Amino acid sequence: VGTGPGALNQITPAAQVAIAQADVVIGYTLYVDLVHPLLRPGQIVEATPITQERQRAQRAIALAQWGLTVAVVSSGDCGIYGMAGLVLEELRVTGWDGKTPEVQVFPGISALQSGASRVGAPLMHDFCAISLSDLLTPWEMIEKRLHAAAQADFVTALYNPKSQSRTTQIAIAQQIFLQYRDPKTPVAIVRAAYRQDEHIVLTTLADCLDAPIDMLTTVIIGNQSTRLHGDWMITPRGYLGFGS
């Protein structure tokens, strides 16, 4: 179940009902806390540390195999770098028949969308999402994608741009983009959109490393036509006429 950026009024009614009607709600502590107002007395609630995604998926499957309805909550869209894939992947390796336990995926507002909506409309033309985490993906593949995205003028949303132990990737990404795109290209740095601690910086490709960036931040790099207008970041919907 995708729970969006964290505000209750950004969670679809379908996702809210799925959480409220489940026998068990499982998720990373922070995200379980965010949906707390949706929980009912009597539900089993299991909040687990952030690193244990695989164990969480396996636990959900075990409980579902006992006949319980399990809501695995996942921030943003559970289908975008989220828990939906992990649950399905774990089911697949256990020889699941695709039917029992029954699976339903509830999409949610992903970080690139919540971030974009708070700064205007940067995603109005072709875009891509790239995670800078090299935990499960070789760094060479990530670099290849950064070059492809920069060269082909995609608006680009960077997920997991930086962590306490992983600080150089965002600087490399910036350097790659600077090879193809103007240093003045608008960049939005959005953290905790729609939450009380929301923090937004509108900056440029040249200056984007001056802003605070961590694992909960999404970095949105405009394409060659993206412009800042006051506090708004706007990508025109085409290249012909209009906006250039």
Residues 12-51 that bind a copy of itself (CB under 8 A): 12-14, 17
Is 174 a binding residue for a copy of itself by CB under 8 A? The answer is no
Q: What six digits make up the tokens of 30?
A: 């922070």
135 touches a copy of itself (CB under 8 A): yes
User: What is each CA distance from 84 to 11, 37, 71, 170, in whole angstroms?
Assistant: 16, 23, 11, 27
Is 57 a binder of a copy of itself (CB under 8 A)? no
> Which residue, 63 or 105, has its beta carbon nearer to a copy of itself?
105
Q: How far is the CB of 122 from a copy of itself (least distance, A)?
A: 8
According to CB under 8 A, which residues from 62 to 101 bind a copy of itself? 77-82, 84-86, 88-89, 92, 96-99
Binding segment (CB under 8 A) for a copy of itself, from list 22-30, 118-126, 161-169, 204-212: 118-126
Interface with a copy of itself (CB under 8 A), residue total 80
- Across the chain, the runs of DSSP E, i.e. the strands, are 24-28, 44-48, 70-72, 120-121, 127-131, 155-159, 186-191, 199-204, 217-221, 227-229, 232-234
Smallest distance, Å, CB 243 to a copy of itself? 6
Does residue 123 interact with a copy of itself by CB under 8 A? yes
Residues 47, 38 contacting (CB under 8 angstroms): no
For position 145 contacting a copy of itself by CB under 8 A, the verdict is yes
Cβ atoms of residues 25 and 42 within 8 Å: no
CB within 8 A of 231, min separation 6: which ones?
119, 202
Report the residue from 26, 63, 64, 109 that binds a copy of itself according to the rule CB under 8 A. Answer: 109
